Amino acid sequence: MSRLAMTTTVDTTDYSRVFNRLSHMAALSKEGKTQVAVDNLVITVLAIDDTFAPASSQELAEAVKVYFGLTLVNDALQSSLDRLVSSARIIRHNSSHAYFLPPYERVVAESRLNDTNSLESTVREEWLADIDENFKFSQSGWENKLWACLKAYMAKAFKRHGAQTIQLLNPTIPMNEENRLSLSQYLKDATSEHCKDIPIDISFFVVQKFFQENITTRTRYITQLLDGTFTFYALSMDNATSNFLKGNFAPLSLFLDTNFIFGILKLHDNPLNDISRELVSVIKNLHFPFKLYYHEETLEELQKYIWSTGNNLKNRPWTSQLSRAAVNNGKISGLEMRYHEKNSMSPIDPNIFLSKYEHIPTLLSEENFTIYRNSSKSKVLDEERHLLVAQYIDALEKRSRTKPYEAVNQVVSSGFRHLGYTEGRRR
């Protein structure tokens, strides 16, 4: 079951792409790389053309748009210029106020550009030389056409799918039909644009072969492109993402599953817990129009877990030494781990520790979570729901996938309510 199940009115926003782009942005920001990425972009633009000396962030923004297709706000570029001047990586002329690179920084930047161009040239020659003789042509220029086709294909795929492209282009990783069709269309578009006089089956074969061979220089080249794509995805702003950040999007009802709730309350250990808490914090602090719900079944599961764990903790006295041993043992997690971490530092009675969890709805209310009460009292609907649950589980098993009954029941029950089933009849 997904950690978040979304329901909303008709909305044409491609939320998958919006959240994908925002995840790139968040990752760069969290690691402190956003400013570094912008700074390197500014340095690169100034190095590409040694006659270019912008006197304002607006001039720089226009150059960034021309060279990289990126639209950056002037404030971000001005902040970058100020940082670079402060660190002496660029210089500003006293009278003309033009920005330019000092000799040392220009040499370093140009060296990096040359290394990049050299790597691309090497990869190009290796790939073309490896093409079977049966796929080569007598007419001149076929090499340039195939290389242009490959680059156009990667550009389309990378721009659409971001850093996830490497998974999409790797033939050993299964992909869904939608992604398969989109990649196929990108290749058709690239072929029709650059290889009109080359049989399409040959173009398809040689381009796909590029990603099937593990060659060191080729891997470095693709990795370099992916790194650039990651930054591009994070720094660029399409209309959907811009509207999302401006708040021009429809309200959403978010149904939180049991794992998500457990993570928020720190009742289990999961790599996604920090992301879950950060998401809830963002929704709350930025006043997004999201309503967060959890099911009655989720509350019952939480209460059973706390009751069972609480009994285990209350069944014997725990000294700080025993708790430290339990923590170091590494075989406990969740609520037990939380208790022993506290008790190892300073003795605390299990009853006092557990008192915090006596009123789960109150704790969840503090996070702006609302319980979604089951309203169906119809025996007929209950039987229909049980049948759908069985069919759902059977369909999962046929795909070699499994989910616990409770998780499937929540999905189906939620679907009933969203379709308008209440008090035993359809609205």
Q: Could you report the per-residue pLDDT of 333-359, keeping only the tens digit for each?
A: 788 888 898 899 988 998 898 888 888
Quote the pLDDT of residue 38: 82
Phi and psi based region of residue 123 (left: phi greater than 0; alpha: psi -120 to 50; beta: remaining): alpha
Distance of alpha carbon 31 from alpha carbon 328, whole angstroms = 30
Quote the pLDDT of residue 177: 67
Predicted TM-score (pTM) of the model is 0.47
Residue range 18-39: average pLDDT?
59
Phi and psi based region of residue 402 (left: phi greater than 0; alpha: psi -120 to 50; beta: remaining): beta
Distance of alpha carbon 222 from alpha carbon 398, whole angstroms = 36
Residue 81 scores a pLDDT above 90: yes
Classify 69 as helix, strand or coil: coil
Quote the pLDDT of residue 89: 92
CB atoms within 10 A of CB 17: 16
Quote the pLDDT of residue 315: 84
Q: Which residue has the higher pLDDT, 427 or 71?
A: 71
SS3 content of the chain, % helix, strand, coil (to 5): 65, 5, 25
Quote the pLDDT of residue 98: 93
Q: Could you report the per-residue pLDDT of 292-328, keeping only the tens digit for each?
A: 888 888 888 888 888 888 888 888 888 999 988 888 8
Quote the pLDDT of residue 77: 86
Please, where are the H alpha helices in 286-333?
A: 296-314, 320-329
Distance of alpha carbon 152 from alpha carbon 422, whole angstroms = 53
Can you tell me which residue has the tokens 């006596």? 358
Query: Within 13 A of 177's CA, how many CA atoms are on the CB side?
Result: 0
Residue range 349-375: average pLDDT?
85
Q: Could you tell me the domains of the chain?
A: 15-107 (1.10.10.10), 125-235 (no CATH), 255-372 (no CATH), 379-426 (no CATH)
Residue 82 scores a pLDDT above 50: yes
Q: What is the DSSP letter of 40?
A: H
Q: Are strands 290-295 and 252-256 parallel, antiparallel or unpaired?
A: parallel
Which whole-number Å values give the CA distances from 58 to 39, 224, 269, 412, in the listed order?
A: 15, 28, 48, 53
Tokens of 384: 């229909």
Indicate the average pLDDT of the chain. Answer: 75
pLDDT band with cut points at 50, 70 and 90 for residue 408? low
Q: Which residue has the higher pLDDT, 388 or 90?
A: 90
Quote the pLDDT of residue 208: 82
pLDDT band with cut points at 50, 70 and 90 for residue 1? very low
Least trusted range by pLDDT, from 284-288, 315-319, 360-364:
284-288
Provide the β-strand partners of residue 424: none
